[in-house]
Amino acid sequence: MAKPVILVTSFGTSYPTSRHITIGAIESDIREAFPDYDVRRAFTSQIIIEHVESDTGRHIDNFEEAMDKIVADGVKRVIVQPTHLMDGFEYTDVKEALADYEDKFDEVALGTTLLSSDDDKVATANAIKAAMERYEDDDTAVCLMGHGTEANSNVIYAEMQQVFKDLGYDNYFIATVEATPTFDDVCKAAKDAGFKKAVLRPFMVVAGDHANNDMADPEDPESFISVMQAAGFEVQCVVEGLGQIDTIDDIYVSHVQDAIDSL
């Protein structure tokens, strides 16, 4: 009889080192926590899938390809665990695609995103705080860069900003690349709060194209580092994805357990 499957579903990244130490780390922790399951990978970005295949010759399945293989292998129990931060367009696409496969299994469950509950948000804030404490002093703002989305879930960034504030982490600020708050918003907030230095880190699972270019590229006048430097801040970049924080990975593991418990 085929082993049950946990399909870890990620947007993906074309940066091989980051892919291994972020998405790969989450997958490894899930594999260790659930040895009775076959843990598999799917990416939802076809562009990234094609980029990785062009660079390495290695094909990573998209969601439908991965699910078709699971069906063909005669698997009867499937857990799909996304690594998405929030219930945005990508998560909705996975949820809708999974619905087309539900009648092909005896048991199927979809895990929740990283920031799906108030407890998740607090745990995530505390995990980031612990990982960034070595960069902090009284003059330094810790500025996190999220992706941003046109979906209603963009409100998560404002909610996380409030979580940091409620926890007393008043030196933490969240910006987004493609929505609000903007880089300029965070730059002004940090300056108004009296900070003179800034440490930038991606508020994303991987440290890929956005982290390296939109955040940390000093040659791009519109990048986060350039905006902060132009405003007079002394800036340091930490190009590390959230998937590199063990306690963040533990949250995903707990969501897999919740999904299994729901069956």
Q: Is 77 exposed, middle or buried (0-12, 13-18, 19+ CB in 10 A)?
A: middle
Residues 150 and 135 in one domain: yes
The number of domains in the chain is: 2
User: Among 215, 174, 172, which residue's Cα sits nearest to residue 195?
Assistant: 172
pLDDT at 1: 79
Residues 78 and 136 in one domain: no
CA 81 remoteness from chain centre:
12
Residues 91 and 40 in one domain: yes
CB of 106 closer than 8 Å to CB of 34: no
* Domain of residue 163, CATH code: 3.40.50.1400
- Each of the 263 residues of the chain gets a pLDDT tens digit; together they read 799 999 999 999 999 999 999 999 999 999 999 999 999 999 999 999 999 999 999 999 999 999 999 999 999 999 999 999 999 999 999 999 999 999 999 999 999 999 999 999 999 999 999 999 999 999 999 999 999 998 899 999 999 999 999 999 999 999 999 999 999 999 999 999 999 999 999 999 999 999 999 999 999 999 999 999 999 999 999 999 999 999 999 999 999 999 999 99
CB of 252 closer than 8 Å to CB of 118: no
Secondary structure element (H or E) that encloses residue 24, with its range: helix 23-33
Secondary structure element (H or E) that encloses residue 7, with its range: strand 5-10
Residues 140 and 236 in one domain: yes
Residues 161 and 228 in one domain: yes
Residues 89 and 75 in one domain: yes
CA 94 remoteness from chain centre:
15
Residues 122 and 236 in one domain: yes
Residues 87 and 104 in one domain: yes
pLDDT at 201: 98
Secondary structure element (H or E) that encloses residue 251, with its range: helix 246-261
Distances (CA, A) of 128 to 120, 134, 245: 12, 11, 8
Range of the domain at 75: 5-115+244-261
User: What is the pTM (predicted TM-score) of this model?
Assistant: 0.96
Residues 125 and 37 in one domain: no
Tokens read off for 20: 């291994």
Backbone angles phi, psi at 175, to 5 degrees: -120, 170
End-to-end Cα, the chain, rounded Å: 19
User: Which residues, in sequence order, are bridge partners of residue 7?
Assistant: 40, 80
Residues 215 and 251 in one domain: no
Residues 202 and 169 in one domain: yes
Residues 92 and 122 in one domain: no
